[in-house]
A and B are shown apart, each in its own frame.
Chain A
Amino acid sequence: MQKVLSLSDFRWLALPPLSFLLLLVGLPLSRLLYEGGLAFSPALLSDPYLQWRLGWSLLQAAATCALTLLLGLPLAWVLAHFEFLGRALLLRVLMLPFVMPTLVAGLGVLALFGPHGLSGLNLQDTPWLLLYGNLFYNLPLLIRAAVDGFDHVPASRLMVARTLGASRWRAFWRVEWPVVRPWLASALCLIFLYCFSGFGLALLLGGQRYATVEVEIYSLVAYELNLADAGALALLMLLLGAVIALLYALIERRLARPDKRSPPLRQPVQGWPQRLLLLASLLLLALFAAAPLLAVLLRALLADAAAWRVLLQDDTQLALGNTLRFSLLALLLATLLGLLHGLAARSSAGLRALMFLPFMVSPVCVAFGLLLAYPAYSATLALLVAAYALLAYPFVAKAVVSARDALPAALPNAARTLGASPWRVFWRVSLPLMRPALRRGMAFAAATAVGEFAVSLFLSRPEWLTLTTLIYQHLGRPGAANLEAALVLSSVLLLLALLAFMAIEWPEKTHARTS
């Protein structure tokens, strides 16, 4: 087939996101490395303590990937194949762990599995809680990506396979797995990078013995101002992260193939075996993704009426307004950048890998680098919003790339042949087809912006108070009233996030129409 030009063949689309990355990551990081003089002690890397830390970081990231895949894939399969009441809502609720401040999630987990936990099991300071924490934060990412992948499996092909006598398992293996693989690849890459460089819930639950290399970098920069060693470690982490991202990009580009998009095959639940299967899946999901959140909600509801009066305070109103304002601004910027990057990255493994750059660099190094590179802008809102967008836009870019890969070439080509301009083709054909994935990416991006990520590393002002920072302020002081206020505010945060997810990902009725 002759190749027809389409908008996404223009690599120049990558120019804005690449300049953004250069300004927000490249320059600040180089400035920091320059300041440190790169005179790091070579002994640093031969230090057994750091080697152990590095090994642990790699191991727990890999283990988390394996576990989320093992648990998440079957769950996603069920969610993708059965239609049931509340399915759309469930998929959105599933993203709530993402907005929960780490410390609050920790309180929720301990309310269940702590010394006085509701479950009666005390798992505090055991590796189980560590794994549980990792699954809590990372399952949503994998499940949402996998469900999206399953939705791209042409129903006709699956039916043909089944009619020809293929077992469910064989049909999965030969028909569905090849379609879902690329979607999983990007989610796993993200999960790996998150766990590799994160502070996270696992650390909170497992104690400092399980600290990642990022914790070392943080203390080298923020406490010792040892920029040389910190820079060397950050570079090493960047290098390892880049290898992972590039590996993912190569795998995904090889696996990616356009699909004849047909309505996904979703059946109502029939018969007891299916009902049991669905029930078991929902229970597993509730245990891993919802239970800690429910515990937080429950504790907030059981709190004194006085604790709810925190909602009337000026600070809370300010924080609510700011959270909405900042998240919206960051989401707009992230969507624009993510869309451009995602479209431009289609044929380039390098660009694909590069969109994960925000998760590969050490956050504390970027924060201090920004301070060095742009002291005059260091306490401005523009920089703060840009930082939010930086951490949010890979979600959009990732979704766009996957959706663009799955886009059948025939439709845009037909439109081009019929005389539509590349821009018109994009606007009327490609974009509508990519919309569900784009919206999923945007919902995750919004969740990132609402959540706590890196907020505390940048200079901030009291008038920029957000819900997350307000929650941490309350948890920075002793007293039962502070704890209850934090739990109430966390519930508000959850509700707000859920509303935002519903608004961004309003269920579309297109599937019903096409069949």
Chain B
Amino acid sequence: MFKKTVLLLALAGASLTTLAAELRVMTHSSFSLPKERIAEFEKQSGAKLAIIKGGDAGEMLNKLILTRANPVADVVYGIDNTLIGKANAAGVLEPTSSKVGRSVAAANLPGAVAIDYGYVTLNIDKAWFAKQKLALPATLDDLAKPAYKDLLVVENPATSSPGLAFLLATIAGKGEEGAFQWWGKLRDNGLKVAKGWSEAYYTDFTRNGGARPIVVSYATSPAAEVFYSKEKLAESPTANLALKGGVFMQVEGVARVKGGQQPALAQQFVDFLRSEAVQKDLQTSMWMYPAVAGVALAPVFKHAEQPASFSNPDLKAMQHKTAAWVSRWTRLVIKNAP
């Protein structure tokens, strides 16, 4: 009798789990895909997608690390090249690969599958520079000159991913000592530090009522300005300013979570993100470039010129030194120490 009950319960449990097969996907807060794509995946796989947003990418990874004993997700999207070293060292990812498509050259994430990439770079307000008849800065060092005093706003690398990416680019571009010397000069030249991208772009950038015509943003932002303009614009009101040592290439990827419950479904989701349909859609839903080679770019991306070069520190350095760099930056720039 007892055995029978147990058996029945087990069966009931099993049928329940098969009925409600659920794939838990952890993402950063910017994850966004059209509803049809999500529905399509659910129909193909027969599973329900539970998307869990864990905040900014860095915050999300730390949430995964803290819960690794009882993983809260089966697959994670949004870990990028600044975080992959830390993720691998913490052992929260199951080495993941995908047979779908071939990645573009620089889009590679050890242990994870690259889905998209983009560039963090300076954006300028074209109208402001035209009106002031000021030449654009040609090098990072120009930004520390009196002509460009009080013109730049950056995000705090301690609270923002683009802020961190830009700091990393300057370190790779100028070397650690050179970069921090430059940041010190920048601070004395009226650098403004905002908490995050939204604050910088919407309260400090001249395009939106602030007083700073140069902002740290993404290379795709000028295209998004056209896409989300009120009247159809022929050209973007903003432009990329890709200075040497001021461009960071960000690669975002997906991986299975170690100890996750649905490895097969998780793999299916990884392959789904590499599918052509998703690679096309993510361009204008997340404003990143597709990581799979040969996928056509959205027409609006003609307004987002891809920087010719970038400067990233190597993955190992980013894994081991980022925390120290950020803390040094904070002390130098925020604390106002000599």
A209-B334, A379-B50, A481-B230 known; A476 vs B198 contact (CB < 8 Å):
yes
Is residue A459 within 8 Å, beta carbon to beta carbon, of the partner chain? Answer: yes
What number of B residues sit within 8 Å (CB to CB) of A? Answer: 57
Q: Could you show 19 A-B contacts with beta carbons less than 8 Å apart?
A: A107-B203, A107-B209, A111-B209, A115-B210, A124-B211, A208-B334, A223-B59, A223-B158, A223-B159, A223-B323, A226-B323, A368-B62, A378-B67, A378-B72, A459-B54, A461-B52, A477-B228, A478-B238, A481-B229
Q: Contact at B58–A223, with CB atoms within 8 Å?
A: yes
Q: Contact at B55–A222, with CB atoms within 8 Å?
A: yes
B positions within 8 Å CB-CB of A: 24, 29-30, 50-56, 58-59, 62-63, 65-67, 69-72, 156, 158-159, 192-195, 197-199, 201-203, 206, 208-211, 217, 221-222, 224-225, 227-230, 238, 287, 323, 326, 331, 334-337
Residue of A nearest to B56 (CB): A222
- In the complex, per-residue mask of A467-491: 1 if CB is within 8 Å of any chain B CB, else 0: 0000010011111111110000000
A49-B331, A483-B202 known; A225 vs B50 contact (CB < 8 Å):
no
Is residue A67 within 8 Å, beta carbon to beta carbon, of the partner chain? Answer: no
A419 to chain B, nearest CB (A): 55
Q: Contact at B202–A475, with CB atoms within 8 Å?
A: yes
Residue of B nearest to A117 (CB): B209
Given the complex, which residues of B lie within 8 Å of A88, measured CB to CB?
A: none
Given the complex, which residues of A lie within 8 Å of B229, measured CB to CB?
A: 479-481
Query: Lowest 9 A-B CB distances belong to which pairs?
Result: A479-B228, A219-B158, A375-B70, A222-B59, A208-B193, A115-B211, A481-B228, A478-B224, A478-B221
Given the complex, which residues of B lie within 8 Å of A460, measured CB to CB?
A: 52-53
Q: Give Cα A475–Cα B202 distance, bound, in whole angstroms.
A: 7
B132 to chain A, nearest CB (A): 13
Is residue A232 within 8 Å, beta carbon to beta carbon, of the partner chain? Answer: no
Is residue A221 within 8 Å, beta carbon to beta carbon, of the partner chain? Answer: yes
B242 to chain A, nearest CB (A): 17
Given the complex, which residues of A lie within 8 Å of B194, measured CB to CB?
A: 207-208
A114-B210, A475-B202 known; A372 vs B66 contact (CB < 8 Å):
yes
Q: Contact at B198–A475, with CB atoms within 8 Å?
A: yes
B-side binding surface: helix, strand, loop or mixed? mixed
- In the complex, per-residue mask of A352-391: 1 if CB is within 8 Å of any chain B CB, else 0: 0000000000000000100110011011000000000000
Residue of A nearest to B67 (CB): A375
Q: Give Cα A481–Cα B72 distance, bound, in whole angstroms.
A: 36
Given the complex, which residues of A lie within 8 Å of B51, measured CB to CB?
A: 461-462
Given the complex, which residues of B lie within 8 Å of A476, measured CB to CB?
A: 29-30, 197-198
Residue of B nearest to A378 (CB): B72
Given the complex, which residues of B lie within 8 Å of A199, measured CB to CB?
A: 195
Q: Contact at B228–A461, with CB atoms within 8 Å?
A: no
Q: Contact at B52–A122, with CB atoms within 8 Å?
A: no
> Of A103, A116, A226, A481, which contacts B202 at CB under 8 A?
A103
Q: Contact at B203–A223, with CB atoms within 8 Å?
A: no
Q: Contact at B230–A484, with CB atoms within 8 Å?
A: yes
Is residue A444 within 8 Å, beta carbon to beta carbon, of the partner chain? Answer: no
Given the complex, which residues of A lie within 8 Å of B228, measured CB to CB?
A: 477-482
Given the complex, which residues of B lie within 8 Å of A375, measured CB to CB?
A: 67, 69-72
- A199, A306, A472, A476: most-surrounded residue (chain B CB, <10 A): A476
> Of B53, B54, B195, B201, which contacts A203 at CB under 8 A?
B195
Given the complex, which residues of A lie within 8 Å of B224, measured CB to CB?
A: 477-479
A110-B203, A459-B72 known; A223 vs B211 contact (CB < 8 Å):
no
A223-B326, A462-B51 known; A371 vs B63 contact (CB < 8 Å):
yes
Q: A106-B199, A124-B210, A461-B50 are in contact. List 6 more A-B contacts (CB 8 A).
A: A49-B337, A110-B209, A110-B210, A368-B66, A478-B221, A480-B230
Q: Give Cα A110–Cα B203 distance, bound, in whole angstroms.
A: 7
Residue of B nearest to A479 (CB): B228
Q: Which of A25-81 contact B (CB under 8 A)?
A: 35, 49, 52
Given the complex, which residues of B lie within 8 Å of A35, measured CB to CB?
A: 66
Given the complex, which residues of B lie within 8 Å of A110, measured CB to CB?
A: 203, 209-210
Given the complex, which residues of B lie within 8 Å of A482, measured CB to CB?
A: 228
A478-B217, A478-B224 known; A207 vs B193 contact (CB < 8 Å):
yes
Q: Give Cα A381–Cα B194 distance, bound, in whole angstroms.
A: 32
Given the complex, which residues of B lie within 8 Å of A106, measured CB to CB?
A: 199, 203
Is residue A457 within 8 Å, beta carbon to beta carbon, of the partner chain? Answer: yes
Residue of B nearest to A218 (CB): B159
Q: Give Cα A106–Cα B230 distance, bound, in whole angstroms.
A: 22
A124-B210, A221-B62, A223-B62 known; A461 vs B195 contact (CB < 8 Å):
no
Q: Contact at A219–B159, with CB atoms within 8 Å?
A: yes
Q: Give Cα A484–Cα B231 distance, bound, in whole angstroms.
A: 13
Q: Contact at A207–B225, with CB atoms within 8 Å?
A: no
Q: Contact at A456–B159, with CB atoms within 8 Å?
A: no
Q: Give Cα A221–Cα B66 distance, bound, in whole angstroms.
A: 11
Is residue A9 within 8 Å, beta carbon to beta carbon, of the partner chain? Answer: no
Q: Contact at B56–A204, with CB atoms within 8 Å?
A: no
- A122, A204, A457: most-surrounded residue (chain B CB, <10 A): A204
Q: Contact at A483–B208, with CB atoms within 8 Å?
A: yes
Q: Contact at A224–B323, with CB atoms within 8 Å?
A: yes
